[in-house]
Amino acid sequence: SWKNDQWITKTDHTNFTSQYVICCTGSRDNKNPNLPKFKDENKYQGKIVHTQAWGDTDYKDKKVTIIGSGCTAITMTPSIVKKAKTVTLIQRTPGYIININSQEKSNRSYKTFEVLKDYFHSRLFKKSFKKKILSSDPYYDDTTTPSYDFWDQRPASSVDNDYFISVKSDKVSLETDEVSHWETTGVKLKNGKVIDSDVTVMATGGTTQLLGGIDIFVNDKKININDTSWYRGMMFSGIPNLFAHTGYINFSWTARCEIVSQRICKTVKYIKKNKLTSCTPKYLGEKTTPSIQANYILRAMDKFPNKTYKFYQNYLLECIHFKWARINDGAVNFK
């Protein structure tokens, strides 16, 4: 709660007062996973478990179905294959998966250059990049080829090819289709095929939220984030001295957090140097539109600011803006 030019942060145990608040709360609501509801769930006689509520699930020597094609499914599959009797992966739409070598180069500059090189090559030469991948192996077809271009969404990672090795196993099968409903023995796909399983793992992702679900009050008025403008992806209009680390949804999350941190430091120094007390972004910008069509983003549009001001999903462009743009750029009220 902001009042009398200071923040009061209330926790379960005590209260804190400060001039600034910096939220490093990520973008996920871990208490409320995304759990799609399919018809006739009560018919299914096996166990349903979501990856965010794994508990003590026993899948040894059992038939396991994994529903989902995102990062969680790609990460879990190699481990589950080791103990399960069989594993069936059900993906509604395929996605890009890249291999990561566990023996990474320690040189930071080298790693950064390699990532940026791959990213910008794929963006500049979208068609040729995709054509090269598709022509390299007859395995690639409509059931394994994403409908979007490489890096339009952040690709999932497979460490030392563990996912690719596991899906080639005789124990693993891959189905590309939507789930129609539950049967007593498993799920039925829209193509009519029934996938039997003892355990069904819902690797269907989480729910997106900003600021960790914290209630924000300014002068006793509760703020609805959806009514604000997102200033450079790091502050919100009408909320003084509150900063939030927000990363990229199509590139490294931490890469953006680093340059946001630098901008925050510059802002605080500017306030101190000019003997000011606060900075509050104005309600400016354009209507917020999702930069990617990922379902976890589309589901959460009502939780995002309805406007954005100079928030680019482009690392190099923002490096330039964050470094050289004036702190008092006319979009923020300083007092």
Candidates 60, 113, 120, 108; CA nearest to 87 is: 60
Q: Please, are residues 308 and 229 in contact by the beta-carbon 8 Å criterion?
A: yes
Candidates 267, 253, 273; CA nearest to 313 is: 253
pLDDT band at 315; cut points 50, 70, 90: confident
Question: What's residue 170's pLDDT?
Answer: 92
Question: β-pairing, 199-202 with 47-50?
Answer: parallel
- Segment of 106-120, 202-216, 233-247, 276-290 carrying the highest mean pLDDT: 233-247
Residue 153 has pLDDT above 70, yes or no: yes
Q: Check: pTM over 0.85? Answer yes or no.
A: no
- Segment of 50-54, 189-193, 247-251 carrying the highest mean pLDDT: 189-193
Question: What's residue 198's pLDDT?
Answer: 97
Query: Tell me: the pLDDT tens digits for 69-117?
Result: 888 899 999 999 999 999 999 998 888 888 888 775 555 554 555 666 6
Residues with Cβ within 8 Å of 219's Cβ and at least 6 positions away in sequence, in order, are: 2, 3
Joined together, the tokens standing for residue 204 give 């269907």
Q: How remote is the C-alpha of 71 from its chain's centroid?
A: 10
Candidates 258, 296, 305; CA nearest to 153 is: 296
Question: What's residue 106's pLDDT?
Answer: 53
Question: β-pairing, 21-23 with 242-244?
Answer: parallel
Task: Tell me the torsion sign for CA atoms 31, 254, 130, 158.
Answer: negative
Task: For residue 231, count other CB atoms closer than 10 A to its CB.
Answer: 27
Q: How remote is the C-alpha of 112 from its chain's centroid?
A: 20
Question: β-pairing, 6-10 with 221-222?
Answer: unpaired
Determine whether domain 41-205 maps to CATH 3.50.50.60.
yes
Instruction: List beta partners, residue 314.
Output: none
- Segment of 126-140, 162-176, 262-276 carrying the highest mean pLDDT: 262-276
Average pLDDT, the chain: 87
**Which residue reads 């997102």 in tokens?**
230
State the CATH class of domain 2-30+208-309.
Answer: alpha beta
Domain ranges of the chain: 2-30+208-309, 41-205
Q: Would 2-30+208-309 and 41-205 be classified into the same CATH topology?
A: yes
Q: How remote is the C-alpha of 235 from its chain's centroid?
A: 19
Percent of the chain with pLDDT strictly greater than 90: 57
Amino acid, single-letter form, for residue 25: T
Question: What's residue 135's pLDDT?
Answer: 64
User: What Å distances lie between residue 58 and 48, 64, 171, 191, CA to CA?
Assistant: 11, 10, 18, 30
Joined together, the tokens standing for residue 40 give 């006739």
Instruction: State residue 181 phi and psi, 5-degree precision.
Output: -165, 175
Question: What's residue 119's pLDDT?
Answer: 62
Let me know how long the chain is.
Answer: 335
Query: Tell me: the pLDDT tens digits for 38-47?
Result: 999 999 999 9
Rg (C-alpha) for the chain, rounded Å, is 23
Choose between 98 and 121: higher pLDDT. Answer: 98
Residue 139 has pLDDT above 80, yes or no: no
